[in-house]
Amino acid sequence: MKKLTFLLLFLVSFTFTACSSNDNKGNNGSANTDGQVNKLTAESFQKLIWDYKANPRDFVFKGDQPCIIDFYADWCRPCKMVAPIMDELSKEYQGKVRIYKVNTDEQRELAGLFNISSIPAVMFVPKNGKPQMSVGAMQKPAYLELIRNVLVVK
């Protein structure tokens, strides 16, 4: 009986450890070069993507690679379906496309800047040209097509 209790406690503690995520992973505001999806704040967005305070009228991309920005919320089920796809894309396009995420509950300024009223909303930012927004959860092939057509990455 003691062995069974120990085993059960071990499995329960392992489950909690395995299911918890490290939201600070890649959350230093730097550009992701390691195939990770990084969180953006308003401050890091201005440094890495577009300084909308200095140049509010014209979108001037500051990045050196095209990027994808996933606007999400922790409570959003469709957002939770998109997150693993973004993780996969970040690894597959490492060194070609940077992938970021913005928590709309925490970063209301950014959500308001892009009039995000429905999530998930995914913005595709080419190195040259205007960003394009996709709203709603999609399957991975649809995101791959947008990467090829909007970001022009093969």
33 band by pLDDT with thresholds 50, 70 and 90: low
Report if residue 10 sits inside a domain: no
pLDDT for 1-27, tens place per residue?
A: 443 333 333 333 332 322 323 333 344
Residues 6+ apart with CB under 8 A from 120: 70, 71, 72, 76, 78, 79, 82, 135, 136, 137
Q: In terms of C-beta density within 10 A (0-12 exposed, 13-18 middle, 19 or more buried), how is residue 26 classed?
A: buried
Report if residue 133 sits inside a domain: yes
State residue 23 phi and psi, 5-degree precision: -65, -15
Distance from the Cα of residue 7 to its chain's centroid: 37
pLDDT for 73-93, tens place per residue?
A: 999 999 999 999 999 999 999
User: Which residue range is the domain that position 131 belongs to?
Assistant: 25-149
Among candidate residues 129, 111, 116, the one with its CA nearest the CA of residue 60: 129
Report if residue 30 sits inside a domain: yes
Catalytic residues: 76, 79
